[in-house]
C-alpha cells in the first residue's frame, strides 16, 4: 500500500462512526493542550482532517503533509465554549514536506502536534529526531496515537490474523490497515532517549469496537468506568512532552556553588577570638 492510499484510507475511516467518535475526543484534548502553549511558531504534522492548532494563539502556524492527496473536508466538532473568544482569526498555512526532513532551522519551533503522524510516517525514529532538532529548548510536543493494548487493537490484530489465514478480507479489519501502532510505553522510551520529559499522558475511548453510532452511544458508560478502573486500555493515547536541554540547568548549579564558596567565614571569627584571648592574658 502506497502512502497516498494510506492517507485516503485514513480519511475514509474518519468518516465512520468510530472515526468521528475518535476525532471528537482527540479534538477536545488538543484544544486543552495547546491553548496555553506560548511562542511564535507552531506546526502540525499530518492528519489535516483534525485542526490541532485551532485553540493556539501563536502568530505563525503551519499544517504539514507529506502527501499530495487533498483530503475531503470533515465536519469538525464545535469548539469549547471557553475557547471561542481566544481562537486566532487567521488560518494556518498548508505545507508539503517530508516529516523526516522538515524545512525549518534548528531550534525554531515552539510547538509541534503529531496526531497519528508517527503511525503513518516512513520512519518514525527519523521523524522524532527531526522533531527534536527543530523544537526550541523547553518546546512542547503533543502526540496522539492508537493504543495496540486495547479492545480496538485486539480487534485489529484479530482481523490481520483472519486475513493471513484466508478467513476474511479487508472488511475484517476495524482500524486503517496502514501504519504501525506504537505502544504508549515504547513511545515514552523513545522520547526519553531523545531528551524529552513526558509532562502528561492520558488514554481515551474505552468503548468496544462497534461500527454504528447507536451502539457506541449504548456503551458510553464504558468511558467513565474505563477512565477509573482500566485507564491504560483506552483505544487511543494522548501525550504531552517537553524538550529538555541539560546544559541550560548548569547556570543554577554554578550560582549555588559560588554562594557556598563565599559563605561561612569561620576562619575570621576564630582569629578574632584568639586576639581577644591574647589581650586578656596580657592584661592579667
- Domain of residue 95, CATH code: 3.40.50.150
Same domain, yes or no, for 58 and 118?
yes
Low-confidence ranges of the chain (pLDDT < 70): 1-5, 68-90, 167-172, 178-179, 247-284
Contact 234, 204 (CB under 8 A): yes
**Pair (243, 269) in one structural domain:** no
3-state helix, strand, coil split of the chain in percent (to 5) is: 45, 20, 35
pLDDT at 82: 44
HSE of 166, CA atoms in CB hemisphere, 13 A: 0
Q: Please give the pLDDT value at position 40.
A: 94
Separation between Cα atoms, residue 93 and residue 114, nearest integer Å: 16
In total, how many domains does the chain have? 2
- Do 181 and 263 belong to one domain? no
CB 63 within 8 A of CB 44: yes
Q: How many CB atoms lie within 10 A of CB 266?
A: 8
- Which stretches of 60-172 are DSSP H helices? 117-120, 124-134, 151-164
Question: Do 187 and 259 lie in a common domain?
Answer: no
Residues 100 and 221 in one domain: yes
* Residue 179 confidence (pLDDT): 65
pTM here is 0.78
Cα–Cα distance for residue pair 44/201, rounded to 1 Å: 19
**Domain, as residue range, for 25:** 3-249
Note the pLDDT of residue 70: 57
**Number of neighbours of residue 139 by Cβ within 10 angstroms:** 25
Q: Which residues of 225-261 are buried (b: 16+ CB within 10 A; e: fewer)?
A: ebeeeeeebbbbbbbbbbbeeeeeeeeeeeeeeeeee
pLDDT for position 218 = 93
Amino acid at each position: 500500500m502506497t502512502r497516498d492510499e494510506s492517507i485516503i484510507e485514513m480519511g475514509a475511516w474518519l468518516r465512520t462512526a468510530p472515526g468521528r467518535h475518535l476525532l471528537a475526543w482527540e479534538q477536545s484534548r488538543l484544544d486543552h493542550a495547546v491553548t496555553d502553549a506560548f511562542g511564535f511558531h507552531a506546526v502540525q504534522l499530518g492528519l489535516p482532517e483534525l485542526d490541532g492548532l485551532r485553540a493556539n494563539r501563536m502568530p505563525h502556524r503551519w499544517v504539514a503533509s507529506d502527501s499530495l492527496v487533498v483530503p475531503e473536508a470533515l465536519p469538525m466538532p464545535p469548539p469549547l465554549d471557553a475557547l471561542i473568544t481566544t481562537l486566532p482569526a487567521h488560518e494556518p498555512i498548508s505545507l508539503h514536506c517530508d516529516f523526516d526532513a522538515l524545512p525549518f532551522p534548528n531550534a525554531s519551533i515552539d510547538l509541534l502536534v503529531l496526531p497519528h503522524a508517527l503511525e503513518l510516517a516512513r520512519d518514525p525514529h527519523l521523524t522524532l529526531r527531526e522533531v527534536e532538532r527543530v523544537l526550541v529548548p523547553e518546546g512542547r510536543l503533543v502526540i496522539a496515537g492508537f493504543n495496540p493494548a486495547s479492545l480496538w487493537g485486539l480487534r485489529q490484530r484479530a482481523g490481520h490474523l483472519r486475513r493471513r489465514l484466508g478467513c476474511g478480507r479487508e472488511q475484517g479489519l476495524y482500524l486503517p490497515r496502514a501504519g504501525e501502532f506504537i505502544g504508549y510505553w515504547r513511545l515514552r522510551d523513545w522520547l526519553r532517549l531523545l531528551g524529552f520529559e513526558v509532562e502528561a499522558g492520558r488514554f481515551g475511548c474505552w468503548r468496544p469496537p462497534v461500527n454504528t453510532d447507536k451502539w457506541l452511544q449504548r456503551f458510553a458508560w464504558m468511558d467513565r468506568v474505563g477512565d477509573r478502573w482500566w485507564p491504560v486500555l483506552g483505544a487511543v493515547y494522548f501525550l504531552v512532552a517537553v524538550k529538555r536541554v541539560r546544559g541550560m540547568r548548569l547556570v543554577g548549579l554554578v550560582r549555588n556553588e559560588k554562594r557556598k564558596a563565599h559563605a561561612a567565614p569561620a576562619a575570621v571569627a576564630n582569629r578574632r577570638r584568639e586576639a581577644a584571648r591574647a589581650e586578656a592574658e596580657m592584661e592579667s
